Structure 1
Amino acid sequence: MSTPIFDFLGQRRSAKPDRLAEPGPTPDELRQILKTGARVPDHKKLAPWRFIVFRDEARRTMGEVFAKACETEEREPPSPVRLDMERARFMRAPVVVAVVSSIRNRPGVPEWEQILSAGAVCFNTCLAANALGFGTSWISEWIAYSPSVRAALGLSEKERIAGFIYMGQPMDKPDDRERPDMDKLVTEWPA
């Protein structure tokens, strides 16, 4: 079966963050991407997630947070090369969006469902950006788990980074990768 949406989804690929160039989404495009990204299953309409956007100099400022976190949290002192890499981490793409999973205490809405909703927001945001022609990469890396980075982002005890979504113009078409063998993953019940 071939339809435009199946063709789009069947060809979607993640780009490497350092293969995403300027220009990134404009503020209006980013608003459209995030609004579309938020159209996910959300039991009881809790919106158990939020976005933090990094663009322009905010990416460089956050890089200083990463370098400082690396210095204070690593067992061995990091090399100058490593610190420079951390400072440049968000400079790999024109726009980076953090999706924060924000668990709400609500009877009848399990935490797991809320976490899954945040994951759906991450992927739906990637799809929305891809539909506008932007390349994306959804990754977490060590920074998502760093206590110093969490504090700098103002995350509460019940919040976690679901992922950082890097966006920009793809510099090249990413190679496809081997896909799972569906015959090994799909069963019908009763078996």
Structure 2
Amino acid sequence: MDAMECLLGRQSTPAANLAEPTPSDDEILELLQAAMRAPDHAALRPWRFLAIRGERRRALGDIFADSLARRNPGATAEDVEKARGKPVRAPLVLAVWAKITENHPKVPTIEQVIATGAAAQNFLNALHARGYQAIWVTGAPCYDEYVKGSLGLAPKDALVGFIHIGTMKKGTAPKKKRPDPAEFLQTW
């Protein structure tokens, strides 16, 4: 598949539809080469990745459950268990964050977060090119200081999401209809 076909064919696959096999640790390092090509003002390389497999996904689920209970003491037991189950739906989860260099004279925090987002997207495209499926998940855990601290992030760092990775459980996903790009382009 050529580069354009790859880019136009990539789409998110729900985590519940993902199964083994996943990329090996060596393959993840190879795929991360694409992430390293993201635009990066002043070569700060703010992106960081944490691979979470096996029982560590359950530990992440416990962190998510504790996080929800802390944020929302009125959360139902069902809601807490749902939060606990999110990381175990896919066989591999990659946490992605920006290691922020505060008060940089040329690169504000937002540019460091954007660069990390671009690295994550490059990684998603590399996964697709290799035949894997994934979904980039955000939500309340990404913005929760308890979750960040539990994963070893500094308070200043920005957790940009969790990429759930695997292989489609059965068949192929139906192609999602995409909007017309002309609806999003303006000329000035």
Could you tell me which runs of 5 or more consecutive residues in structure 2 were left unpaired when the two chains were aligned.
none
CA distance in 2, matches of 1:135, 1:90: 16
Over residues 51-85 of structure 1, what are the superposed CA-to-partner deviations in whole Å (9 max), with x where a residue is unaligned? Answer: 11111111111111112222222141422x32322
Over residues 147-166 of structure 1, what are the superposed CA-to-partner deviations in whole Å (9 max), with x where a residue is unaligned? Answer: 22122112212211111111
Q: CA deviation at 1:170?
A: 1.4
Aligned 8 A contact 1:101 1:161 in 2? yes
Aligned 8 A contact 1:95 1:168 in 2? yes
Q: Which amino acid aligns with 2:153?
A: L
Find 2:92's aligned residue among 88, 91, 95: 95
Q: Which residue of 2 aligns with 1:169?
A: 167
Aligned CA-pair RMSD: 1.7
Between 1:180-189 and 1:113-122, the stretch displaced more is 180-189
Q: Which residue of 1 aligns with 2:183?
A: 184
* 1:27-38 pair list within 5 angstroms: 27-38=25-36
Between 1:29-38 and 1:7-16, the stretch displaced more is 29-38
The answer to whether residue 9 in structure 2 is matched with residue 8 in structure 1 is no
Q: Which amino acid aligns with 1:186?
A: L
Find 2:128's aligned residue among 130, 134, 141: 130
Q: Which residue of 2 aligns with 1:144?
A: 142
Runs of 4+ in 1 over 3 A off after TM superposition: none
Q: Which amino acid aligns with 1:33?
A: L
* 1:4-153 pair list within 5 angstroms: 4-79=2-77, 81-105=78-102, 106-153=104-151
Aligned 8 A contact 1:70 1:78 in 2? no
CA distance in 2, matches of 1:69, 1:123: 26
Q: CA deviation at 1:128?
A: 1.1
Over residues 86-110 of structure 1, what are the superposed CA-to-partner deviations in whole Å (9 max), with x where a residue is unaligned? Answer: 2221111111111101221321123
SS in 2 for 1:188: coil
Q: Which amino acid aligns with 1:84?
A: E
Aligned 8 A contact 2:148 2:155 in 1? no
Normalized against structure 2, the TM-score is what? 0.91
Q: CA deviation at 1:35?
A: 2.6
Between 1:31-40 and 1:159-168, the stretch displaced more is 31-40
CA distance in 2, matches of 1:77, 1:41: 40
Could you tell me which runs of 5 or more consecutive residues in structure 1 were left unpaired when the two chains were aligned.
none
Aligned 8 A contact 1:48 1:118 in 2? yes
| Equivalences, count | 186
SS in 1 for 2:22: coil
